[in-house]
């Protein structure tokens, strides 16, 4: 086994933004494991970004059955490619699809799974990673002796790589090996859930509300602010449990893991259940009336005050700036 394979997940043919974090993770071990390749799975794939990733080759696997994020089809196609290429490490995206396929792929290939990896180190033919435990309050060091290693980098742990100026990779079209008998899941209907036009996982700015907002109405102001700054609206668990906002807004251990550039927490105390989901944010701004709230311990900037005074002033300032 040699080399590194990056699974590039696509949505409507476009490679997801967290691809560049996968590239950064792969580059840390490329000098030891060898060349980096990309496997782009989907339909009518736009390969421009992958071609500028510095990879040696981009394997394009197109099939209409790969249009939807169903794990069975992606697992079948990716497993077949891995049997052909024999990579020592496969880097997966930290998405619902990526994490499910990663676990099943590790079993199929007889390898080892490294979920939520924050660091990667190779020595004595073993991969050592660090990963968060106890809701992010501590980290554990894990040694994985058996290759291939299927690695899912933790969101925000690796600074996204920069695309190259030129497309240097060669494109290799591969007919995906997908058995209809292996497809256990199919789409029977579609329904659009109320939520943001910008997904939380992709948003560069997120403003989230907690129990301190005291009801659903204040989230309308959060939406107006998010629209003004090109961001998305999230929430801690209590507002979702109370029905103030849809569960799709929830960030935390039982919700979504996000890594925006700016995370604004309004009326959120900072329980571990929530902060685990936003701890990868580059900048955290906390607004809370309780100066001793745990959220201030991890905040880059803090405002001790009533959101009813702070947010309208913030929104007005945004409006003045146009």
Nearest Cα to Cα of residue 64 among 184, 187, 172: 187
Give me the pLDDT at residue 192, please: 63
Reduced 3-state DSSP string for 240-296: HHCCCCCHHHEECCCCECCCCCEEEEECCCCCHHHHHHHCCCCEEEEEECCCCCCHH
Give me the pLDDT at residue 171, please: 95
The values of phi and psi at residue 181, to 5°, are -65, -25
Nearest Cα to Cα of residue 286 among 259, 305, 312, 258: 305
Give me the pLDDT at residue 258, please: 86
Domain ranges, ordered by start, for the chain:
4-182, 205-321
Give me the pLDDT at residue 155, please: 80
Give me the pLDDT at residue 200, please: 87
The fold of the 205-321 domain, in CATH, is: Rossmann fold (3.40.50)
Say which residues have a Cβ less than 8 Å from residue 212's Cβ, sequence separation at least 6.
266, 267, 268, 269, 288, 289, 307
Say yes or no: do domains 4-182 and 205-321 share a fold.
yes
Give me the pLDDT at residue 196, please: 56
CATH of domain 4-182: 3.40.50.620
In sequence order, what are the beta bridge partners of 262?
205, 283
Q: Which tokens is 26 given?
A: 């792969």
Q: Model's pTM, two decimal places?
A: 0.78
> Residue ranges of the chain with pLDDT lower than 50?
none
Task: Kindly report, residue by residue over 211-269, the tens digit of the pLDDT.
Answer: 999 999 999 999 999 999 999 999 999 999 999 999 989 998 888 888 889 999 999 99
């Amino acid at each position: 086994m040699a080399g590194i394979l990056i699974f590039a997940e696509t949505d409507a043919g476009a490679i997801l933004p967290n691809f560049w974090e996968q590239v950064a993770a792969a580059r840390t071990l490329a000098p030891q494991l060898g060349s980096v390749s990309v496997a782009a799975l989907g339909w009518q794939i736009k390969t421009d970004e992958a071609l500028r990733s510095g990879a040696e080759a981009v394997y394009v696997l197109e099939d209409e059955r790969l249009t939807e994020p169903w794990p069975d089809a992606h697992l079948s196609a990716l497993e077949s490619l891995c049997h052909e290429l024999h990579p020592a490490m496969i880097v997966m995206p930290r998405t619902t699809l990526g994490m499910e396929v990663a676990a099943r792929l590790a079993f199929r290939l007889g390898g080892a799974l490294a979920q939520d990896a924050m660091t990667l180190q190779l020595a004595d033919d073993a991969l050592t990673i660090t990963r968060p435990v106890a809701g992010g309050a501590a980290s554990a060091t894990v040694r994985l002796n058996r290759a291939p290693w299927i690695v899912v980098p933790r969101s925000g742990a690796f600074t996204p790589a920069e695309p190259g100026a030129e497309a240097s990779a060669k494109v290799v079209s591969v007919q995906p090996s997908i058995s209809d008998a292996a497809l256990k899941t199919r789409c029977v209907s579609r329904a659009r859930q109320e939520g943001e036009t910008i997904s939380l996982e992709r948003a560069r700015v997120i403003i989230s509300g907690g129990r301190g907002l005291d009801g659903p109405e204040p989230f309308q102001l959060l939406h107006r602010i998010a629209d003004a700054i090109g961001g998305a609206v999230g929430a801690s668990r209590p507002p979702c449990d109370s029905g103030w906002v849809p569960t799709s807004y929830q960030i935390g251990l039982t919700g979504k893991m996000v890594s925006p550039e700016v995370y604004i927490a309004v009326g959120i105390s900072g329980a571990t259940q929530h902060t685990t989901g936003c701890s990868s944010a580059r900048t955290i701004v906390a607004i809370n009336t309780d100066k001793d709230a745990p959220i201030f311990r991890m905040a880059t900037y803090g405002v001790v005050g009533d959101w009813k005074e702070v947010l309208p002033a913030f929104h007005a300032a945004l409006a003045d700036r146009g």
